[in-house]
Amino acid sequence: MLLGVDTGGTFTDFVLFDGQSLRLHKRLSTPQAPEQAILLGIQEMGLNPAELNIIHGSTVATNAALEGKGVRTAFITNRGHRDMLSIGRQARRELYNLQPDTIAPPVPAELCLETGGRIGADGALLEPLTEANLQQLQQQLQQLQPEAVAINLLFSFIDEHAEKTIEKIIPDGIFVSRSSDILPEYKEYERGITTWLNAWVGPLVQDYLQRLRDALPQTPIAVMQSSGGTIAADQAGRLAVHMLLSGPAGGLAGARFIGVLAGREQLLSFDMGGTSTDVALIDGDLKLTNEGKIGPYPVAVPMVDMHTIGAGGGSIAYIDGGGLLQVGPESAGADPGPACYGRGGTQPTVTDANLVLGRLLPDAFLGGKMLLDVDAANTAVGKLAKQLQLGLEETAAGIIRLANEHMSQALRVISIQRGIDPKGFTLMPFGGAGGLHVCALAEAQGMEQAIVPIQGGVLSAFGMLVARRSRELSQTIATPLDQINSTELEQQFQSLIQKALTALASEGITSEQVSLQRSLDLRYCGQAFSLNIPWQDLNKCHKSFHQAHQQRYGHQLQQAIELVNIRLHAHGPANPLKIPTLTNKKTHSPPKQTQLYGINENVMILARENLVAGQIINGPALITETVATTFIESGWQCRVDDYGNLLLTHR
């Protein structure tokens, strides 16, 4: 049986596929020991671990990076470049702030070590790596006692010999991250930060996955990567930097699967959880980027292209110094959580506001397993209402409008600001809170179509089930496109292909089962940024790049094109997952009705499990389910498809 598990900041979600049907479960996360929530969830579902195959989305690497809680890490680079990570790109966070706050460097100065082994941009040796250099590094490491070491020598993507030599002298028990292995690409700062991040959080990820494997010794475990594919847990710790968007990538994999099922392959997705909202654009395959970020740090390994903001169901509403209402980015998290959770939280959140407005039903949350405290929500929001001298519901509606505006702006960043009109796309919300905001967000973007997917409240966990084992490999070439020799380019690709096949073979996937997708990073000579173009042949890639540049930036140039990197996406076969269709057992009980603030007509309340294929629902209506609630606003119509997805149309 396949079990998808997504560990979020507030909830840990479970989706079980037993070969015939899907079963859902949700429980509060245990942030200090994430594996405990997984073990408790398996126990609560009455499952035998020996019968499971787990695919897991983990936030251990993400949380450690965002909270600055990595391990003591030494950074080894060439002589004269020890400040590489501190200097960075010299970008200022606040351009006009003449007295910016001092930001601590990623690596303390005493942990930045310099050595020989420097080569030039042409691969020529400029300074050898001597035996004396190696002995000095050994002495320094013995004195500093780091838990991890990051090795980042200049131009090591051309020749990795010096980095490999240094790796061999690192004492046993110290986690080693080598840039020529983690990211064999140009841009020494981005390569260095990515290599350091991998070393900084790697031991934490390894320890966590080892604890999980020890607790479930008979259970195969795979981990979701930021690129939307999975990797065996015993290999994931060494490549921890590839897990920084583990959970969100699962959501996009699930969104794409449902979109194909519903015939909607052009999607704008937003994953609204308890702590944050992730937005992305899906047009066929998942879009990947090597210009992602985690907190203040650039992460140049391939990851799903999304934009994240601090607006979720747990986002705290407050009055700022100027007397204005604000929402987020601080979150109440899982402990204590929103006030209505009854776990000691007193600050008003978006979830509390939805409860005050009646859009969340206190006895229907988590299928009735968690009764929401309406009085606590009223008290929390009431404090703000008193400060603002507004009514209780009016204040709650203001909180919702502000949260919606934050999410609308994020959707514009991923679409309009990239030259893409969202009107032709379908909005797909997921996450526990997404369905409550879908109609308002669609209207804000001028969109007339939306789809609330089946399993939407746990779609990231569902996405784990449909994701494939995969590897993303790359290599810097940095040569004008018209000077590329096709034979040499094919040899470079074959080198990446062999690495990918070897890695996947270690997970039991044969070469016949592997699908390969090649692509090129191209740019006009002299540019700093590139566009990724699927590989066809050199002439077709040349034309495709001009067209892509025109679409993205509004113009194209009549000048030479440079091939920066080659990329390879290799993935194994998909899991045999089939979503069951609705049984069409129509309920005879009439729907309940209620009154909501700001709506003059009665609002129907329907249970999603009682809906039938083809059923039409005119808003306003609340559709409840175990893991989420959907609010269909006035002016919207909903049609239930054969699988139970809610297809919304603005009338």
Return the pLDDT at 377: 94
> What integer pLDDT is reported at residue 171 of this predicted model?
93
- Asked if the model's pLDDT at residue 536 lies above 80, the reply is yes
Distance (Å, whole) CA 328 – CA 82? 37
Contact indicator for 81, 107 with CB cutoff of 8 Å:
no
Q: Measuring CA to CA, how many Å separate 302 from each of 179, 306, 383, 569? A: 15, 12, 45, 10
* CB contact set of 264 (below 8 Å; sequence gap of 6+): 426, 428, 449, 451
The pLDDT of residue 585? 63
What is the reported pLDDT for 591?
78
Q: Residue 389: pLDDT above 60?
A: yes
Domain count, the chain: 2
Beta carbons of 328 and 364 less than 8 angstroms apart = no
Place of tokens 């994931």: 236
Domain boundary, last residue among 571, 593, 622: 571
What is residue 134's predicted lDDT score, i.e. its pLDDT?
96
Percent of the chain with pLDDT over 70: 98
Residue 249 has pLDDT above 80, yes or no: yes
Here the CATH number for the domain that contains residue 90 is 3.40.50
Work out the burial of residue 487: count CB atoms within 10 Å of its CB; fewer than 13 is exposed, 13-18 middle, 19 or more buried. Answer: exposed
Q: Return the residue matching tokens 């062999």.
A: 498
Average the pLDDT over 507-533 and give the result: 92
Q: What mean pLDDT is predicted for residues 323-345?
A: 84
Q: Which two tokens stand for residue 547?
A: 């067209």
Do 507 and 470 touch, CB atoms closer than 8 A? no
Mean per-residue pLDDT for 564-570? 94
285 belongs to a structural domain: no
Residue 153 within a domain: yes
Kindly state whether residue 643 falls inside one of the protein's structural domains.
Answer: no
Instruction: Report the percentage of the chain scoring pLDDT > 90.
Output: 60
Phi, psi of 527, rounded to the nearest 5 degrees: -80, 160
Q: Would you say residue 535 lies in a domain?
A: yes
Report residue 438: phi and psi, to 5°.
-65, -45
Residues 6 or more apart whose Cβ sits within 8 Å of residue 629: 359, 360, 361, 364, 435, 436, 622, 623
**Residues 315-324, mean pLDDT to the nearest whole number:** 90
| Secondary structure (DSSP) of 56-83 | EE--HHHHHHHHT----EEEEEETT-TT
DSSP string, 109-155: GGGEEEE--EE-TTS-EEE---HHHHHHHHHHHHHH--SEEEE--TT
> What tens digit of pLDDT does each residue of 403-413 get?
999 999 989 98
Rounded to an integer, the average pLDDT of 527-551 is 91
Q: Is residue 176 part of a domain?
A: yes
pLDDT band at residue 589 using 50, 70 and 90 as cut-offs: low
The beta strand positions in 407-514, using DSSP E, are 426-430, 449-452, 470-480
- 47-61, pLDDT tens digit by residue? 999 999 999 998 888
> What does the pLDDT look like over 115-161, one tens digit per residue?
999 999 989 999 999 999 999 999 999 999 999 999 999 999 999 99
3-state secondary structure 437-465: CHHHHHHHCCCCEEEECCCHHHHHHHHHH
Rounded to a whole number of angstroms, the CA Rg of the chain reads 26
Inside any domain, residue 40? no
Judge whether 138 and 165 are in contact, CB under 8 Å. no
Q: What is residue 220's predicted lDDT score, i.e. its pLDDT?
A: 92
Phi, psi at 601, each rounded to 5°: -105, 165
DSSP, residue by residue, 251-262? HHHHHHHHHHHH
Residue ending a domain, among 179, 207, 235, is: 207
More confident residue, 284 or 564: 564
Average pLDDT over residues 488-517: 93
The span from the CA of 224 to the CA of 129, in Å, is 38
Query: Which pLDDT band holds residue 293 (cuts at 50, 70, 90)?
Result: confident
Check whether 590 has a pLDDT greater than 80: no
What pLDDT score was predicted for residue 334? 65
Is residue 620 domain-resident? no
- Provide the pLDDT for residue 32: 82
pLDDT at 584: 66
Structure tokens at 557: 């140039």
- For the chain, the average pLDDT equals 90
Residue 559: CB atoms within 10 Å: 10
Banded model confidence at residue 635, pLDDT cuts 50, 70, 90: very high
Amino acid letter, residue 597: Y
Task: Tell me the per-residue pLDDT of 366-377, one tens digit each, with 9 for 90 and over.
Answer: 666 778 899 999
d(CA 242, CA 264): 29
**Nearest C-alpha neighbor of 567 from the set 304, 283, 226, 302:** 302
Using the predicted structure, report yes or no on whether residue 310 has a pLDDT greater than 80.
Answer: no
Q: Looking at the chain, how many residues does it have?
A: 651
State the pLDDT at residue 33: 87
Task: Among 531, 552, 571, give the residue marking a domain's end.
Answer: 571
57: burial class by Cβ within 10 Å (0-12, 13-18, 19+)?
buried
Dist. CA 521–CA 565, nearest whole Å: 5
Domain that holds residue 80: 70-207
d(CA 571, CA 566): 17
Quick one: which of 567, 558, 257, 269 has its CA closest to 422? 269
Task: Tell me what the mean pLDDT of segment 540-548 comes to.
Answer: 93
Is residue 572 within 8 A of residue 493, CB to CB? The reply is no
Taking 70 as the threshold, does the pLDDT of residue 474 lie above it? Answer: yes
Across the range 69-95, mean pLDDT stands at 90
Higher pLDDT among residues 238 and 312, named by residue: 238
Residue 214 lies in a domain: no
Examine the pLDDT at 361 and tell me if it is beyond 90. Answer: no
Q: What is the pLDDT of residue 430?
A: 86
- Per-residue pLDDT tens for 171-183? 999 999 999 999 9
